[in-house]
Structure 1
């Protein structure tokens, strides 16, 4: 199913809090403190006369935080890089026994052994993480300007550099998400955070997380995503280049379900039927017109 709508925004649902609010606050405070320790964040207040120093200090904090992350990777051992080429998927076993699935066109880096912190970096793409529980050693994923911290959960991160939206979807457990200066809070199962990189804003919504992460079984489920998300999915799944009128399709929001094991022409026929867009295929290039 496809539909054309204006930009969508989602609000945090009322069921986003645990029944025991005090326990929720205690867990969140502990996880956020851990995140702040990782990024070197300390709240400060500046007078008007010191604003320019605050800006410089912020830049320095970001640089120092990045240096510590890279340094921690190398101090933990050899840095490994794993990728899933277009048209393929990959499964990686991490040093702590956790497992990561990489979708087509994805790359991740991680140390050959973890030290005090379990940290990895999703360089590009989509990954599903099934993390071994360890209360003493939080697991942190860095991607773009964001990071996710957990103790032991399963969740999906979609961070393609070609796309504006970054998506974090929780299947089990609690997941803390934030950027280099603040936390966005905790996500519960079947919650998805959407971070709009250009606008530097985020929304949350309720989804069927198991369906979102079903790409591991070649089942593609896209819910209310920009048309460009579908295009990139087709390109990565079938290892082709798809050209289309971006201006014409920029406001199109798509919900679609298909199997990446199916022939690509089946998906193109759906697009043709809904949008009256013809297509032509020449080698590895597909044109919608």
Structure 2
């Protein structure tokens, strides 16, 4: 079978009949499985690490060390997961900076609702006005039990996706650390984790107005992201893809030339694990690629193939060296 056909299968570009033929070919012989595993490893790691490493040699090292069987199982599982994914019109919204105190300005504590998600767990929430929220891992959302004022305000730390119920008489405002996002009815994403350098709002549909104490209010167009640098107090607007905007709601983590330190922070939140890096040289690597609904064990295998990284895992503690 041609490599081009196998790659199209990996990327999910084949029809059902073609996919069936490729799967039959893969599992027909041990040699075919090994060839497929190598192509999958190359494809997963091809753009994932800067500088790019020799993934074929990395694969052979793993195989020679007696771990090729486990690696084959991981890569096959990655493909089976990727093959059934369906892209949805969802939105990515991440908010940070946990507020101090239990009450919000002008809201009695007895009227306050506080929703909290631990690491590794996300959940859906419906606000009093019908607005739908997906609260991502390691996040906190606070709001009034009943939106009776002239504005609808929520305070969010961590990450959340909003589909706001339209109400032209009452704007909806998200307070996310240094950034405030004002909308009437739309879908958007805000990210404001305390560890992040930037607070970010990404608009998917509708209109939002982004403001802060450091920059004049700016209206975003769909698939634009506003990034407020906490240190430089500078607001930057850039174009994004729909996939970037919705990735976490679909179980994905997407990185674009991202330092290892930031990659590990996202992995810790998603999988509720703790990383320890023994080699400072690993921090010099930038990562570009997608973890597509992988388990933490599969993520570690991809890092091992694409980088000069080895690891030791003991329960939820992972050491990289």
Same fold (TM over 0.5): yes
Aligned to 1:195: 228
Partner of 2:48: 2
Question: Is the 8 Å Cα contact of residues 279 and 320 (structure 2) preserved in structure 1?
Answer: no
Query: Normalising by the residue count of structure 2, what TM-score does the alignment of the two structures yield?
Result: 0.64
Q: Give the conservation status (yes or no) of the 8 Å contact 2:179–2:228.
A: no
1:276 matches 2:308? yes
Query: Corresponding residue for 1:46?
Result: none
Task: Tell me which of 97, 104, 109 is aligned to 1:70.
Answer: 104
Structure 2 residue 138 is the aligned partner of structure 1 residue 105:
yes
Q: Find the aligned partners of 1:111 and 1:219 in 2 and give their Cα distance.
A: 31
Q: Given that residues 90 and 102 in structure 1 are in contact (C-alpha distance below 8 angstroms), is that contact kept between their aligned partners in structure 2?
A: yes
Q: Determine if the alignment matches structure 1 residue 183 to structure 2 residue 229.
A: no
User: C-alpha root-mean-square deviation of aligned residues, in Å?
Assistant: 2.5
Distance 1:223 1:73 in 2: 40
Q: How does 1:1-289 map to 2 (within 5 A)?
A: 1-4=47-50, 70-74=104-108, 78-114=111-147, 115-122=149-156, 124-180=157-213, 182-244=215-277, 248=281, 252-260=285-293, 262-289=294-321
More deviation in 221-230 or 134-143?
221-230
Distance 2:260 2:166 in 1: 37
Contact 1:176 1:183 in 2 (8 A): no
- Confirm or deny: 8 A CA contact 2:140 2:158 kept in the other structure: yes
User: 1:3 deviation in Å?
Assistant: 4.4
SS at structure 1 position matched to 2:108: helix
Name the counterpart of 2:8.
none
Aligned length: 225
- Change in Cα spacing, 1:224 to 1:95, as seen in structure 2 (3 Å) is farther
Contact 1:174-1:188 within 8 A present in 2 as well: yes
- Alpha-carbon distance in 1 for matches of 2:305, 2:262: 19
The normalised TM-score by structure 1 is: 0.70
Rate the CA distance shift 1:111–1:247 in 2: closer, same or farther, 3 A: farther
Secondary structure of the corresponding residue to residue 73 of structure 1: coil
CA contact (8 A) 1:158 1:168 kept: yes
Structure 1 residue 210: deviation in Å?
4.3
Q: Which has the larger strand fraction? A: 1
**Following TM superposition, by how much is the alpha carbon of 1:110 offset from its aligned partner in structure 2, in angstroms?**
0.7
Cα offset for 1:245?
A: 5.8
Please report how far the alpha carbon of residue 152 of structure 1 lies from its aligned counterpart in structure 2 after TM superposition: 0.7
Give deviations 1:192-231, integer Å, cap 9, x for gaps.
1222212222322211134432322313333344433321
Unaligned stretches of 5+ residues in structure 1: 6-65
Specify the SS of the correspondent of 1:237.
helix
CA deviations on 1:247-283 (whole Å, 9 max, x unpaired) are 54556443321234x2212111222222211111112
Aligned residue number for residue 15 of structure 1: none
Q: Which runs of 5+ in 2 are unaligned?
A: 1-46, 52-99
Moved more, 244-253 or 202-211: 244-253
